[in-house]
């Protein structure tokens, strides 16, 4: 045994020594003797010595068994040397171990002759091992330091990020590389093996490396594969499995343009067109085209896919344009596509794809190519150029100039403008049309024309909010108990807007009050039979028809109200430029219960001012128009307060 003080001996000399737990360096010749007397060594290496003892004391071994045992020990020794060599590349770590000071009380002194003999033996062993390392272990170490799958070097970063796995054959793999390799092998042969030595990687190792779900998922995939091959099943993108059975051929089936399908296309459709019962996706079970290629056989669709197509209508091009911006070389000569070309951005993005945005937009759209979107789906909320516009559902976003709102949802420019120009649906004014069709947040973007429409809507909303606040106070809505309840919580403006109906006068194009509405009322009531020309404000209608008080010296004609011609209610509708209806009577008229054709005796009779809901004497219902006077003055009188 030797004690080492770390300052007078060559460090290489101790590479073939055991550094015991008792802090002494033990030469190979002294290991057995030292083991018999050292408790710390027995504690650490007892199990190992027990295994070795069983292996070498067997009397039944022949010469081949001993050679096999020798080969195994050399194999183990080789891998240990590789690990040592790897650690020696971290010199500070190794030197710290070599220079560790022994406990002084355990120092053992040897004679000069013993020391010199040991040095000669160590040098001889060192030369032998050096040659052995060069001829065998160095090439093995070269393999050891590379991933068995991708053959790239294993780096310290790989180890620190825990991206390295070592099967029982001791060959290194990147974790991701082995996962891919093992799955391919398992799908083919129901087992995984090392690419370097062909040894099988036990399932226990795969479970340890990748989790139990790794093999479970593979078995599920194998089962699905078997069902598809033997049971006539197919996969939908959503994960649902479907059984395919040919349908009845409809030779009168038409394509999206209204043309009758060819015989071959109709038969192809009957055999391969599938609709998923889970996600409703319609696709081809033969060529996996999504959506199904209506009007084409699989072969025709494959040819179409490989041909040059117009970037807008996707029809096959007869020839590519030779002049003009590169972005528009693949555009056909149809009038619609020419129009789209004029309105589209002609810029090429950094990725090499062309912008699908509008020409007047200040900023280019993010790239809508599927591969580019997959790299950063947040830029477009995972929308690609193949996704339908959520307004028209008639074509992909890349098939017409598109606009991205600040909420990041994307729509065709033309569709957004149509929505904004169409404004609200139904007679009552509302501002749902300036909200994003997808997420319902208020629209905003950098497109000049779209912004103009949005700003016009905001101006109109401010005007209605202003007159609604005044009307609410004169209608007594500000005293309503429901104002203090959720969701209004004392906020008069949202409550007033919820209770009061406003319409757009067809003549003067100004909003006017059309009566109260309950919170349960549908704002789009009568929308199906809505005629804008029938909506005329009190000011415009007072100029041409009826009796009663048609003007106010204080407030003019803006707040003149009319009674319904057919009952004792305030009118909200002025039709044909002559006739006022309340909501109920207008609904009856539009449903075919024509009040205008009824005799006076068939209409509701008014019992006079005392019993009349309007508290006025007026002409018989159905006889003539009648103005009720100024609504503001009426409320002032009822509330006994000034305006």
Residues involved in catalysis: 519, 575
- Going by their DSSP bridges, the two strands 626-630 and 547-549 should be labelled as parallel
Contact 1, 34 (CB under 8 A): yes
User: Which tokens belong to 624?
Assistant: 């003539």
Contact 412, 401 (CB under 8 A): yes
CA–CA distance, 16 with 35 (Å, rounded to integer): 16
Half-sphere exposure of 431 (CA within 13 A, CB side): 19
Contact 226, 219 (CB under 8 A): no
Q: What's phi and psi for 575, nearest 5 deg?
A: -105, 145
CA–CA distance, 108 with 38 (Å, rounded to integer): 14
Contact 590, 529 (CB under 8 A): yes
CA–CA distance, 630 with 223 (Å, rounded to integer): 79
Which residues on adjacent β-strands are paired with residue 630? 560
Q: Which residues, in sequence order, are CB contacts of 167 under 8 Å at separation 6+?
A: 173, 194, 199, 201, 205
Q: At 40, is the secondary structure helix, strand, or coil?
A: helix
Closest CA to 534 of 568, 570, 503, 510: 503
Q: At 107, is the secondary structure helix, strand, or coil?
A: coil
CA distances from 67 to 62, 79, 136 (A): 9, 18, 18
CA distances from 276 to 230, 234, 271 (A): 20, 10, 15
């Amino acid at each position: 045994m030797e004690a080492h003080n770390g300052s007078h001996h060559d460090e290489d000399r101790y590479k073939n020594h055991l550094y015991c737990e008792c802090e002494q360096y033990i030469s190979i010749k002294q290991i057995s003797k030292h083991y018999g007397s050292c408790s710390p060594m027995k504690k650490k290496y007892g199990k190992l010595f027990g295994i070795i003892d069983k292996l070498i004391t067997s009397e039944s071994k022949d010469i081949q068994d001993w050679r096999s045992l020798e080969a195994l020990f050399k194999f183990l020794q080789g891998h240990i040397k590789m690990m040592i060599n790897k650690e020696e590349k971290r010199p500070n770590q190794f030197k710290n171990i070599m220079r560790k000071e022994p406990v002084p009380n355990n120092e053992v002194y040897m004679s000069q002759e013993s020391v010199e003999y040991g040095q000669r033996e160590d040098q001889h062993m060192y030369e032998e091992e050096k040659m052995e390392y060069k001829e065998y272990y160095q090439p093995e170490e070269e393999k050891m330091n590379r991933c068995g799958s991708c053959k790239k070097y294993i780096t310290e970063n790989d180890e620190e990020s825990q991206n390295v796995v070592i099967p029982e054959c001791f060959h290194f793999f990147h974790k991701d590389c082995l996962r891919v390799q093992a799955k391919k092998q398992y799908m083919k042969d129901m087992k995984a093996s090392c690419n370097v030595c062909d040894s099988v990687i036990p399932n226990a190792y795969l479970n340890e490396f990748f989790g139990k779900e790794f093999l479970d998922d593979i078995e599920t995939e194998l089962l699905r594969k078997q069902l598809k091959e033997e049971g006539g099943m197919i996969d939908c993108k959503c994960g649902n499995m479907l059984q395919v059975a040919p349908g009845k051929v409809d030779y009168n089936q038409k394509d999206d343009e209204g043309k009758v399908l060819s015989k071959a296309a109709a038969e192809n459709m009957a055999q391969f067109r599938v609709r998923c019962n889970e996600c409703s996706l319609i696709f081809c079970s033969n060529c996996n085209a999504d959506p199904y290629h209506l009007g084409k056989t699989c072969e025709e669709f494959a040819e179409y896919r490989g041909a040059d197509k117009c970037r807008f209508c996707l029809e096959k091009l007869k020839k590519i344009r030779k002049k003009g911006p590169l972005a528009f070389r693949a555009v056909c000569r149809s009038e619609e596509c020419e129009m789209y070309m004029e309105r589209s951005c002609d810029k090429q993005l950094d990725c090499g794809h062309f912008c699908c945005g509008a020409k007047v937009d200040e900023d280019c759209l993010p790239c809508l190519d599927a591969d580019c979107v997959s790299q950063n789906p947040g830029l477009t909320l995972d929308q690609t150029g193949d996704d339908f516009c959520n307004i028209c559902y008639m074509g992909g976003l890349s098939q017409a100039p598109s606009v991205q709102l600040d909420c990041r949802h994307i729509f065709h420019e033309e569709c957004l403008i149509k929505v904004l120009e169409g404004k609200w649906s139904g007679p009552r004014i509302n501002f749902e049309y300036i909200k994003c069709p997808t997420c319902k947040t208020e629209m905003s973007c950098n497109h000049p024309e779209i912004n103009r429409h949005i700003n016009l809507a905001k101006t109109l909303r401010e005007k209605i909010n202003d007159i609604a606040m005044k009307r609410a106070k004169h209608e007594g809505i500000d005293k309503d108990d429901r104002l203090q309840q959720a969701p209004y919580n004392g906020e008069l403006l949202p409550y007033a807007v919820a209770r009061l109906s406003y319409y757009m006068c067809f003549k003067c194009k100004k909003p006017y009050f059309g009566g109260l509405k309950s919170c349960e009322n549908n704002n789009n009531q009568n929308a199906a039979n809505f005629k804008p020309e029938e909506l005329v404000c009190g000011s415009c209608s007072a100029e041409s028809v009826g009796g009663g008080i048609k003007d106010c010296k204080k407030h003019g004609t803006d707040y003149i109200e009319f009674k319904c011609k057919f009952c004792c209610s305030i009118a909200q509708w002025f039709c044909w430029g002559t006739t006022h209806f309340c909501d109920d009577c207008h609904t009856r008229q539009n449903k075919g219960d024509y009040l205008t054709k009824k005799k006076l005796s068939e209409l509701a009779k008014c019992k006079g001012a005392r019993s009349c809901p309007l508290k006025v004497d007026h002409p018989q219902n159905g006889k003539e128009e009648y103005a009720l006077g100024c609504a503001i003055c009426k409320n002032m009188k009822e509330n006994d307060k000034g305006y």
